[in-house]
């Protein structure tokens, strides 16, 4: 999903600005890894323009290694959008929960 790619932007995962220095990025990453090791709740999710996403240790490590490479970092900066400026994500379209009942189907249907 294309939303996924934008929401997993390393800057969003690490919660640093696009203009952060190398040392600030490493510092933020190290802090998050420590908090995740301790099980701090606030470290387990982060805000994106598409709502809250979860993060775990491997996501933080991946984000750190992506931002270490200048080429990848430049690309991530191009895709980075400031989540706070956009407000809450749009509500999805309401799904019609009674749909199958209207054709006389009261059985399970998933997927």
Binding site for another protein (CB under 8 A): 1-3, 5-6, 22-23, 26-27, 30-31, 33-35, 37-42, 49-50, 58, 61-62, 64-66, 68-75, 77-79, 81, 86, 89-111
What is the smallest separation between the CB atom of 69 and another protein, expressed in angstroms?
A: 6
Asked whether the beta carbons of 83 and 18 are under 8 A apart, the reply is no
Closer to another protein at the Cβ: 52 or 61?
Answer: 61
The tokens for 37 are 């090791």
Q: How far is the CB of 28 from another protein (least distance, A)?
A: 8
Task: Tell me whether residue 54 or residue 108 sits nearer to another protein (CB atom).
Answer: 108
Smallest distance, Å, CB 65 to another protein?
3
Q: Which is nearer to another protein, 54 or 98 (CB)?
A: 98
d(CA 57, CA 36): 7
The tokens describing 64, both together, are: 């750190």
Residues near 42 by beta carbon (within 8 Å), at least 6 away in sequence: 35
* Cβ 55 vs Cβ 46: under 8 Å: yes
């Amino acid at each position: 999903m294309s939303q996924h790619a934008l929401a997993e932007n390393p800057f969003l995962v690490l919660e640093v600005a696009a203009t952060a220095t190398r040392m600030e990025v490493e510092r933020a990453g190290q802090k998050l890894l420590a908090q995740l090791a301790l099980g701090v709740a606030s470290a387990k999710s982060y805000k994106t323009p598409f709502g809250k996403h979860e993060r775990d240790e491997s996501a933080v490590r991946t984000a750190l290694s992506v931002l270490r490479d200048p080429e990848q970092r430049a690309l991530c900066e191009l895709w980075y959008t400031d989540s706070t400026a956009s407000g809450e994500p749009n509500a999805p379209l309401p799904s019609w929960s009674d749909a199958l009942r209207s054709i006389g189907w009261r059985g399970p249907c998933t997927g």
